[in-house]
Chains A and B, each alone.
Chain A
Amino acid sequence: MAKKELSVSAIKNGTVIDHIPATHLFKVISILGLDKSENQITFGTNLKSQLQGRKAIIKVAKKYFADDEINKISLVAPHAKLNIIKDYNVVEKKSVEVPENLVGIAKCFNPKCITNNEEMTTRFALVEREPLALKCQYCEKITDEKHLEII
């Protein structure tokens, strides 16, 4: 029985994104544009995790992500782990890291910043990974982890 359950959700070729915080599952889906994808996608949420409270998992068939594509989720799912599946086997495991440039993901903490007053895309450059510091490319102010908001 257990074996059958596994085979239903297993994918032949594609990517499994594991260790997504359950609260951010839909953010991850939206950042990766999976809501508009034609690929077969299965996801589970509120699964028990030893690393975090409740996790979510996404399996995308026939899809391999480029590093700068997948790294976009690092702000909402910093501990996400990727399993690259080929012919039912995990051929590679990857972690995500905050990219050097973030476009349209984070919100600038500065209320006087143009990005908070005009309909436009935000742009940040990474200053520091740990602790996180992002420099707004417009107002040039630093947004830190404490003030970080995802759009």
Chain B
Amino acid sequence: MKNKSLVSITDFSKEEILRIVELASEFEANPNQKLLDGKVVSSLFFEPSTRTRLSFETAINRLGGGIIGFTDSSSSSTTKGESLKDTIKMVSNYSDLIVMRHPLEGSARYASEQSDVPVINAGDGANQHPTQTLLDLYSIYKTQGTLDNLNIFLVGDLKYGRTVHSLLMAMSMFNPTFNFISPDSLKMPDEYKLFLDSKGIKYYEHLEFTDIIEAADVLYMTRVQKERFSDHIEYEKVKNVYVLRNAMLDNTKENLRILHPLPRVNEIHTDVDENPKAYYFQQAENGVYARMAIMASILGLK
């Protein structure tokens, strides 16, 4: 995958995904490898995303690389009306790799076409965020010892949540069973269900968040966002229904781990945080190793 951009999780094959996951665990065991010594990475954040940016910048620093770029577009030439193409053409002359976050959908694909160096998509609007998916996969692999044959529960906003869609696409290569728990108004879109049907993957839909989670290996929680609801009353009704509390975990499997892309609002009660099955904070930390693995393999350094 040397010199290949990472725009969408579907750009990577099953073998490439497994390679990233294995590399991430190598980096976790030995995080200070100066493989990027003498290399420059552009970190272009056309919209702020502190969490993702810090994770990337930590990964770059641990690899010994230099960073140039900006943290939001108000400090870039975009405010002077420069096109994305021109910014990318300029920056690709200065650096060996571009990490880009942009509010417009499809911007990362376009940047990868214009750039002479590989582009890593750090989120393009509501479209794709493949490094989040790879860190989710690494978290699952690390806690379950495998990606194969797992029972994965996705909870909350399954309609608009891009992280759950990408996770679904990627996990589909590993023969999972899916359980979807969401209010009727935020159900998994048909296109994803048709995709699962076409691959012969089993899935079950539920409206209620109950003891069915006892079958889960992975419980992936998402935010139910207020702005997704045109009806305020409907939001008030659902927002407290899909809340995970510690008491609900009593009879769940030993190997169950709870994941969440963070930040959370109230969907995971703080009484879960001390439970050893809570994994969302470590999950965020795994992002650094996953991103080290992605950058090192794209630059052909590993």
Question: Could you tell me which A residues sit within 8 Å of B by CB distance?
Answer: 108, 110, 112-115, 117-120, 136-141
Judged by DSSP, the binding face of A is loop
Report the Cα distance A141→B109, complex, angstroms.
Answer: 13
Q: Does B104 contact A (CB under 8 A)?
A: yes
Nearest neighbor of B8 in chain A, beta-carbon distance: A140
**B215 → chain A closest CB, angstroms:** 32
**Given A140-B8, A140-B127, A114-B107 contact (CB < 8 Å):** yes
User: Does B8 contact A114, Cβ atoms closer than 8 Å?
Assistant: no
Nearest neighbor of B84 in chain A, beta-carbon distance: A118
**Given A138-B110, A140-B8, A113-B105 contact (CB < 8 Å):** yes
Question: Could you tell me which B residues sit within 8 Å of A by CB distance?
Answer: 8, 83-85, 102-107, 109-110, 124-128
The CB with the most chain A CB atoms within 10 A, among B106, B107, B125, B126, is that of B106
Nearest neighbor of B107 in chain A, beta-carbon distance: A114
**A123 → chain B closest CB, angstroms:** 9
User: Does A138 contact B105, Cβ atoms closer than 8 Å?
Assistant: yes
Report the Cα distance A138→B108, complex, angstroms.
Answer: 8
User: Does A114 contact B83, Cβ atoms closer than 8 Å?
Assistant: no
**Given A114-B110, A140-B127, A140-B128, A120-B85 contact (CB < 8 Å):** yes
**The 7 A-B residue pairs with the shortest CB-CB distance in the complex, in nearest-first order:** A138-B106, A139-B105, A139-B106, A114-B106, A114-B107, A114-B104, A138-B109
Report the Cα distance A108→B83, complex, angstroms.
Answer: 19
Report the Cα distance A139→B126, complex, angstroms.
Answer: 9
**Given A139-B127, A140-B127, A140-B128, A115-B83 contact (CB < 8 Å):** no
Nearest neighbor of B191 in chain A, beta-carbon distance: A142
**Given A113-B104, A119-B83, A137-B126 contact (CB < 8 Å):** no
9 contacts between A and B (CB under 8 A): A112-B103, A112-B126, A114-B84, A114-B107, A114-B124, A118-B85, A139-B125, A139-B127, A140-B128
**Given A112-B125, A112-B126, A136-B83 contact (CB < 8 Å):** no
User: Does A137 contact B105, Cβ atoms closer than 8 Å?
Assistant: no
Report the Cα distance A8→B127, complex, angstroms.
Answer: 56
**Residue from B110, B125, B126 in contact with A120 in the complex, judged by beta carbons closer than 8 Å:** B110
Contacts of B103 in A (CB 8 A): 112
Report the Cα distance A136→B124, complex, angstroms.
Answer: 14
Report the Cα distance A62→B58, complex, angstroms.
Answer: 64
User: Does A113 contact B83, Cβ atoms closer than 8 Å?
Assistant: no
Contacts of B84 in A (CB 8 A): 114, 118
Report the Cα distance A108→B106, complex, angstroms.
Answer: 11
User: Does A112 contact B105, Cβ atoms closer than 8 Å?
Assistant: yes
Contacts of A118 in B (CB 8 A): 83-85, 104, 110
**B10 → chain A closest CB, angstroms:** 9
User: Does A137 contact B109, Cβ atoms closer than 8 Å?
Assistant: yes
**A107 → chain B closest CB, angstroms:** 13
Nearest neighbor of B86 in chain A, beta-carbon distance: A118
The CB with the most chain B CB atoms within 10 A, among A108, A115, A138, is that of A138
Report the Cα distance A118→B106, complex, angstroms.
Answer: 11
Nearest neighbor of B102 in chain A, beta-carbon distance: A114
Nearest neighbor of A141 in chain B, beta-carbon distance: B105
**A118 → chain B closest CB, angstroms:** 5
Report the Cα distance A127→B127, complex, angstroms.
Answer: 18
